[in-house]
């Protein structure tokens, strides 16, 4: 009698185990597929955000580049100290406006942007210290531009290179 029961129970247990294994395998495949879809959607959403951050970072660097900054903020009839303050204020305002972009950039790219900003501020501060209070803002503008143009590779060029490489890595 036990042998008769085992004739039916053992095959039923084997079928049950096979069905359970197949079901678990199917559910795991579905979870993996859903996870892959979610990652793909996340990447689709993040790439435009990252590209926007890179664009804004490069725009920031171009705007604080002394060649462009000195054209936008005219030194007409201003004292050195006032012009110096305006230039520094403009750079800091631009920087604060773009702070959130670091969320989408790698640390090296963001650090290169910060370094470029700091080097430009250093040039501006150093140039202002070399001039007297009686000098015109035009003299400050010339001094900043001369220092900037004497650099072999500008800090903004270095930073833009790093940022472009970071952006291009999204597509490789």
pLDDT of 43 strictly over 80 = no
User: Residue 136 is inside which H or E element, if any?
Assistant: none
pTM comes to 0.77
Residue 1 tokens, joined: 């009698």
Give the dihedral of Cα atoms 68, 133, 151, 67; nearest 10 deg: 10
> Of 98, 100, 102, 118, whose CA–CA distance to 158 is shortest?
118
Q: Coil, strand, or helix at residue 110? A: helix
User: Is residue 151 situated within a structural domain?
Assistant: yes
Give the residue, 116 or 21, on which the prediction is more confident. Answer: 116
User: Is residue 20 situated within a structural domain?
Assistant: no
User: Is residue 130 situated within a structural domain?
Assistant: yes
pLDDT of 42 strictly over 70 = no
User: Is residue 32 situated within a structural domain?
Assistant: no
Q: How far does Cα 82 stand from its chain's mean position? A: 32
Q: Which domain holds residue 74?
A: 47-171
> Of 91, 94, 100, whose CA–CA distance to 70 is shortest?
91
User: Is residue 126 situated within a structural domain?
Assistant: yes
Domain count within the chain: 1
User: Is residue 42 situated within a structural domain?
Assistant: no
């Amino acid at each position: 009698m036990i042998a008769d029961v085992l004739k039916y129970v053992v095959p039923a247990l084997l079928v049950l185990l096979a069905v359970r294994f197949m079901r678990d395998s199917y559910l795991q495949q579905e979870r993996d597929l859903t996870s892959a879809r979610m990652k793909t959607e996340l990447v689709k959403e993040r790439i435009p955000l990252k590209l926007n951050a890179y664009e804004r970072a490069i725009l920031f660097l171009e705007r604080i580049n002394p060649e462009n900054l000195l054209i936008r903020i005219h030194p007409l009839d201003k004292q050195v100290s006032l012009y110096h303050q305006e230039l520094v204020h403009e750079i800091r305002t631009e920087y604060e406006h773009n702070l959130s972009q670091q969320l989408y950039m790698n640390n090296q790219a963001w650090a290169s942007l910060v370094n470029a900003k700091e080097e430009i501020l250093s040039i501006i501060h150093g140039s202002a210290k070399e001039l007297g209070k009686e000098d015109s803002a035009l003299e400050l503008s010339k001094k900043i531009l001369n220092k900037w143009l004497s650099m072999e590779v500008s800090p903004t060029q270095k930073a833009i290179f790093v940022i472009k490489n970071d952006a291009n890595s999204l597509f490789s």
